Structure 1
Amino acid sequence: MSEKLKTIKELADELGTNKTRISRIINKNSIPTQKIKNKIVLEDNSVSLIRHYFKNETQQQNETQQQNETQQQNETQQQYKTQQQNETQQQYETQQQYKTQQQNETVSILRTELDKAHSHIEKLSNLLDQQQRLALQDKKLLEEYKAEINDLKALKMPSQDTKEEQANSQPQEELETLKEQIRALNDKIKGQEQLNNQVSKKWYQFWK
């Protein structure tokens, strides 16, 4: 083959492609060819044109491929960012739900403790009220007992001028009765004082 002429295969081998692509470039751009001995050959001008179109086409393909790769990378990055945002949002919502749950549980516990405290205060108030009423009753009883004792003492201890006269005139049985009443009242006073002491101890231990 002449140096100025190249077959499609020779040019394809030179450009590192196949005959089909070279034929497509020729047909697409209407590049002139010759036919010698049933072979299609290309002159230098045609070869130069094919090289030019091949170079441009290859460059466009590379640019398109780069654009596609860049777009794919951007889409992948965007998908990754979106996924990260979704995961972050989900984590935030989960944390918020957990915090809300913890706060609700804390509020519930505090309300329970507050109800217990109110109930305890109410019981203490009732006990204090009962203690005050008992103290007033005890005081009243003690005063009554002391008044009775004073009355009995007044009956038992007459004036010095009439002591011998009353002793002679008062029956021995009445004296014994008065003595028994005095002892009974003293026992009541001691019993009431012991009861007061026990109640005071219980109240002290309760508040302690």
Structure 2
Amino acid sequence: MSENFKTIRELADELGVSKKKIHYQVSKLDSNLIQRLDGTIYLGKSAISKIKSNMGYSKMSISDTLDIQNRHVLDSGLDTEKNKLINEKSEQISYLKEQLNKKDGQLAIKDEQIKSLVEIQNQTQNLLDQQQRLALQDKKLLEEYKSEIQSLKALTTEDNKAHAEEQSEDANISVKDKSKRWWRFGK
């Protein structure tokens, strides 16, 4: 409204008392000293001076009034500082919560990546095991083939020897036959 009117809260802050005390003093006043607007009670100069006199504030010196006002300014300054600190702390807390949520999301992603890497590692290990088994089977087959080849070589060398012996015997027989024949013609 105007500078001549104060609300109950403003007067309580100025005097450094609770709003309840001011409400009690307002209830003692005549209704013509009080103005109401949109549910808010406004007190004029005369209402304020009556309340102050009823509470013993009229006897205060100017220095006492200044002390009260300074206390009010200090309290409001402290309230402002408290509010700033509270706001800063709540901002820090919300920032930290946000960071924790991000980290939780990143951890979930990393867990999934680790899980897939472990699966890949298991598959790779299975493939290596299969490859080792196949290599062992190949080695056994090669050894079997080598032994078969050696046995076949042995058979072929024996066959070749037998065949060579037969040929040499046949050759000896034919040479003997020829020699016998030649001698026959010469006799």
Question: How would you bin the TM-score normalised by the shorter chain?
Answer: 0.5 to 0.7
Number of residue pairs matched?
Answer: 152
What's the CA shift for 1:157?
2.5
Paired letter, 1:22: E
Paired letter, 1:154: N
- Please give the TM-score of this superposition, normalised by the length of structure 2: 0.62
1:28 aligns with 2:17: yes
Partner residue in 1 for 2:4 = 10
- Match of 1:111, SS state, is helix
- Quick one: distance in 2 between partners of 1:85 and 1:74? 16
Partner residue in 2 for 1:102 = 120
Partner residue in 2 for 1:40 = 47
- Match of 1:10, SS state, is coil
- Match of 1:28, SS state, is coil
Partner residue in 1 for 2:100 = 82
- Gap runs ≥5 in structure 1: 1-7, 13-18, 168-208
Partner residue in 1 for 2:131 = 113
Sort the Cα spacing of 1:166 and 1:120 in 2 relative to 1 into closer, same or farther, 3 A.
farther
Q: How does 1:104-183 map to 2 (within 5 A)?
A: 104-158=122-176, 162-163=180-181
Quick check: 146-155 or 64-73, which moved more? 146-155
- Gap runs ≥5 in structure 2: 34-45, 50-57
Q: State the Cα deviation string for residues 185-204 of structure 1 (Å, max 9, x = none).
A: xxxxxxxxxxxxxxxxxxxx
- Quick one: distance in 1 between partners of 2:10 and 2:148? 115
Give the structure, 1 or 2, with the largest relative contact order (CA under 8 Å, sep 6 or more).
2
What's the CA shift for 1:144?
0.9
What's the CA shift for 1:139?
0.9
Quick check: 113-122 or 87-96, which moved more? 87-96
What's the CA shift for 1:110?
2.0
- Quick one: distance in 2 between partners of 1:103 and 1:139? 53
- Quick one: distance in 2 between partners of 1:50 and 1:84? 50
- Quick one: distance in 2 between partners of 1:161 and 1:47? 164
- Quick one: distance in 2 between partners of 1:90 and 1:11? 61
Identity over aligned pairs, percent:
9
- Please give the TM-score of this superposition, normalised by the length of structure 1: 0.57
